[in-house]
Amino acid sequence: MIRVLSREDVRRALPMRQAIEAMKRAFAQLSTGQANVPLRVPLQVNRHNGVTLFMPAYLAADDQMAIKIVSVFNDNPAKGLPLIHALVVVVDATTGTPAAVMDGTYLTALRTGAASGAATDLLARPDAHTTAIFGAGAQARTQLEAVCAVRPIQEAWVYDVAPQQAAAYAREMSQYLSLPVRVAGTPAEAVRQADVICTATTSASPVFDDADVRPGTHINAVGAYTPQMQEIPAATVLRARVVIDHREASLAEAGDVLIPLQQGLITIDHIYAELGEIAAGRKPGRATPEEITLFKSVGVAVQDVAAASAVLEAARRLNLGTEVAL
């Protein structure tokens, strides 16, 4: 029997706070040699302006295994379709038997937000109370939710190149989080007031100016996932303590890091740590209240394994989903 879980099943099974703790455990295993994570395999579909990624991983300490298939098709929003579609298959690591298949679109947004929540918890100032969100899609929603789960956020700003989408985001998230969410007219209006910045866009160029970033700011950069994409100004990367999700993946895919490297502005030694090294207690996080910290994530399959395994465990306990025979 295999359990089939819908988006709503996934949402009910894994609240954000639990997802954040699952990400800390997953990243700690990744950075301490307890995970088998091949580089994801991208299948380019240039004819339709898209890419499908295949992302397997095994967490040895938790004995968990899964694979995610995720598609990013950039023309979809114009067709009224989500930018991202995904499916996750959980495999029983003791027998190799498929145990569950579940919606991966929401799970991707959830685990990406939860990774930023983990980074914010480990790197942001404890008194951070204002956040700025760049982008107004599904990823941007879980970014704000995650930051609010770990810091006493009192006000949020959102900026998007499509003002009507930003306005809809502000209305929805204000109600969902019981928090004032305001639409910024310019990137500077959002950044100049922010203690925590989250970028969740598909931009090929920086989405704000370095001069607007205040000392003590923490930044979660999760949108750029190819060497050509860049959300964060190189000058900001240069003056920040840079923490990444996975060294191998970041040096292959993270344009926010690779572009300053190629420009000769930084060296590989500028990368301070993987998030898992901090989560595992092997390195400290923020050094001073004035320091700028940057968490750069391209997404790693251990996140999907940890989140999907937690979902399956809760689904069995709560009797969520439908069991079918293959």
What pLDDT score does 58 carry?
A: 98
Name the DSSP letter for residue 213. Answer: P
231 and 124 belong to one structural domain: yes
| Structure tokens, 101 | 């298949």
Average pLDDT over residues 233-239: 97
Please, which pLDDT band fits residue 224 given cuts at 50, 70 and 90? confident
- What span, in angstroms and rounded, lies between the C-alpha atoms of 229 and 213? 20
Average pLDDT over residues 109-134: 97
Among candidate residues 33, 97, 41, the one with its CA nearest the CA of residue 69: 41
pLDDT in tens, 170-221: 999 999 999 999 999 999 999 999 999 999 998 999 999 999 999 999 999 9
249 and 315 belong to one structural domain: no
Among candidate residues 320, 242, 253, 313, the one with its CA nearest the CA of residue 277: 242
- What span, in angstroms and rounded, lies between the C-alpha atoms of 76 and 268? 36
195 and 268 belong to one structural domain: yes
What pLDDT score does 238 carry?
A: 97
Q: For residues 169 and 141, is the Cβ–Cβ distance under 8 A?
A: yes
Q: DSSP letters along 273-309, please?
A: EEHHHHHTTSS----STT-EEEEE----HHHHHHHHH
129 and 236 belong to one structural domain: yes
- What span, in angstroms and rounded, lies between the C-alpha atoms of 149 and 152? 8
296 pLDDT higher than 90: yes
183 and 198 belong to one structural domain: yes
Please, which pLDDT band fits residue 127 given cuts at 50, 70 and 90? very high
312 and 219 belong to one structural domain: no
What pLDDT score does 140 carry?
A: 95
74 and 174 belong to one structural domain: no
What pLDDT score does 171 carry?
A: 97
- What span, in angstroms and rounded, lies between the C-alpha atoms of 225 and 165? 22
315 pLDDT higher than 90: yes
What pLDDT score does 75 carry?
A: 94
132 and 180 belong to one structural domain: yes
Among candidate residues 62, 41, 37, 64, the one with its CA nearest the CA of residue 51: 41
196 and 279 belong to one structural domain: yes
Give the number of domains in the chain.
Answer: 2
290 and 315 belong to one structural domain: no
Please, which pLDDT band fits residue 128 given cuts at 50, 70 and 90? very high
CATH of the domain at 67: 3.30.1780.10
138 pLDDT higher than 90: no
Range(s) of the domain holding residue 83: 2-108+302-324
Please, which pLDDT band fits residue 226 given cuts at 50, 70 and 90? confident
Q: One of 68, 79, 283, 296 is an active-site residue; which one?
A: 68
47 pLDDT higher than 90: yes
Please, which pLDDT band fits residue 249 given cuts at 50, 70 and 90? confident
Please, which pLDDT band fits residue 82 given cuts at 50, 70 and 90? confident
Phi and psi based region of residue 280 (left: phi greater than 0; alpha: psi -120 to 50; beta: remaining): alpha
Greater pLDDT, 224 or 62? 62
- Residue 8's contacts (CB-CB under 8 Å, 6 or more residues apart) are none
- Sign for the pseudo-dihedral over CA of 113, 190, 242, 284: negative
Is 79 one of the catalytic residues? no
158 and 282 belong to one structural domain: yes
DSSP 3-state assignment of 68? Answer: strand
pLDDT in tens, 23-41: 999 999 999 999 999 888 9
CATH of the domain at 218: 3.40.50.720
153 and 104 belong to one structural domain: no
Q: DSSP letters along 188-233, please?
A: HHHHTT-SEEEE----SS-SS-GGGPPTT-EEEE-S--STT---S-
Give me the chain's average pLDDT, please.
96
